[in-house]
Amino acid sequence: CFSRWNRYFYGNNNNMKILIAYKTKLGGSREYAEWLAEALGTTPKTFDNITKEELEGSDACVVISGTYAGFMPLNRFLKKNWKVLKNKKVAAVALGGIGPEHRWSRFSYRRIPVRIREKIKYWKITGKGDEKKPIEWGELKKENLDPVISYLRE
């Protein structure tokens, strides 16, 4: 399945320089970031390892993190770097154990400032659970990233 998925998307990103930034707690964000990077021919980086020059030099940025009781590290990353990101194509991908229509998912999304929400594309996809917090919907799989890749290719 992955080789078909990878052949379909790899290298066809309109020569855009795409930065993939992630923060992970249980490993799901890292796994999605690595899948996305492989499909787009780039290298993912953690929030803490991205330089201002890398942000400035990118055409697009994908920001990935989990959601934790209404808190998303991607929100802080977007706010901190918005001056650089505001004129770029930005995709925000939030992971979690509950679906996008759940009240806590909507609450997390609304915590992103309106000025940022209006200029980005946002997805809530299945995260990675553990024995204390099982996943209530979906599963961790590459195909969850298809809408993100389609957006980047527009």
CA atoms of 10 and 47, how far apart (whole Å): 24
**pLDDT score of 29:** 95
Q: Is residue 135 part of a domain?
A: no
CA atoms of 35 and 39, how far apart (whole Å): 6
Q: Is residue 64 part of a domain?
A: yes
Output the CA–CA distances (angstroms, integers) from residue 61 to 29, 47, 86, 101, in the order listed.
15, 12, 10, 25
Maximum distance among all Cα pairs of the chain, rounded to whole angstroms: 42
Angle between the N-to-C axes of helices 28-40 and 2-9, in degrees from 0 to 180, rounded to the nearest 10: 50
In contact, 130 and 96? CB cutoff 8 Å? no
pLDDT digits (tens, 9 = 90+) for 120-151: 999 999 887 766 666 666 688 999 999 999 99
**Model pTM above 0.85:** yes
Could you tell me the sign of the dihedral formed by the alpha carbons of 33, 35, 38, 41, in that order? negative
Residue 7 has pLDDT above 60, yes or no: no
Residue type for position 71:
F
What CATH number is attached to the domain comprising 56?
Answer: 3.40.50.360
Q: Is residue 149 part of a domain?
A: no
pLDDT digits (tens, 9 = 90+) for 18-37: 999 999 988 999 999 999 99
**pLDDT score of 8:** 40
Q: Is residue 10 part of a domain?
A: no
Q: Is residue 138 part of a domain?
A: no
CA atoms of 12 and 92, how far apart (whole Å): 20
pLDDT digits (tens, 9 = 90+) for 71-119: 999 999 999 999 999 999 999 999 998 888 989 999 999 999 999 999 9
Q: Is residue 141 part of a domain?
A: no
How many domains are there within the chain?
1
List the domain range (segments joined by +) for residue 82.
20-127
**pLDDT score of 133:** 64
Q: Is residue 142 part of a domain?
A: no
Q: Is residue 6 part of a domain?
A: no
- Give 28's contacts (C-beta < 8 A, 6+ positions apart): 66, 95, 127, 128, 140
Confidence of residue 13 (pLDDT cuts 50, 70, 90): low
